[in-house]
Amino acid sequence: MTFLELANNRFSERRFDTERPVEQEIIDKILEAGRISPTACNLQPQRIYVIQSEEALKKLRTVRVSHFNAPLMMLICYDTETVWRNPSDRCYDNYNSGEQDATIVATTMMYEAEELCVHTCWLLGFDSKQVAEVLDLPKNHIPVMMFSMGYPSERSKPSHLHNERKPIEETVKVM
């Protein structure tokens, strides 16, 4: 399968098989994909939390209810003490690459999961301060995004919008 086929097949899973845990060797491959992801100046500020114990998942549910009952969650943070900074950026005061680094790491991990037949769902709409508090994260670890992860259930299917794409001319401008 080509990368474009893989990317086209991937969709946000909302129906996980809650009885089938993701094997540690599969988790390790997904984490390795995150480890080797590109980051600004290769500083590797990503800090990844594998949330799989019932206790940790229960804590997370107190601040983020909709995670589709996945058996596993990945929380991607960046370390403010390691992140690349650009003090001369004229548009953003104190710019740092943390969100971009964490996002590319997460995306790379999600594609690796798809390659390994493990489905994911990128989750938005959480309060990063609350997540950091309930999981007792170090102050310098800033939560950026999380995704649920697991094997698909028998009822798994992409959203009805999955194959709808805008024409490339609408999203790409050549200058």
pLDDT of residue 9: 92
Q: What's the CATH number where 34 sits?
A: 3.40.109.10
pLDDT of residue 140: 97
* Structure token pair of residue 54: 């019932």
pLDDT of residue 88: 75
Range of the domain at 19: 3-171
pLDDT of residue 68: 65
pLDDT of residue 94: 75
pLDDT of residue 61: 86
DSSP string, 90-128: SSSTTEESHHHHHHHHHHHHHHHHHHTT-EEEEE----H
pLDDT of residue 65: 66
Closest to 78 measured CA to CA, from 62, 55, 100, 56 = 100
Task: Give the CA distances from residue 13 to residues 55, 128, 132, 152, 160, in Å, rounded to whole numbers and listed in that order.
Answer: 23, 22, 25, 7, 12
pLDDT of residue 93: 72
The total number of structural domains that make up the chain:
1
pLDDT in tens, the chain (175 residues): 899 999 999 999 999 998 999 999 999 999 999 999 999 999 999 999 999 999 999 898 888 766 667 889 999 999 999 999 887 776 777 789 999 999 999 999 999 999 999 999 998 788 999 999 999 999 999 999 999 999 999 999 999 999 899 999 999 999 9
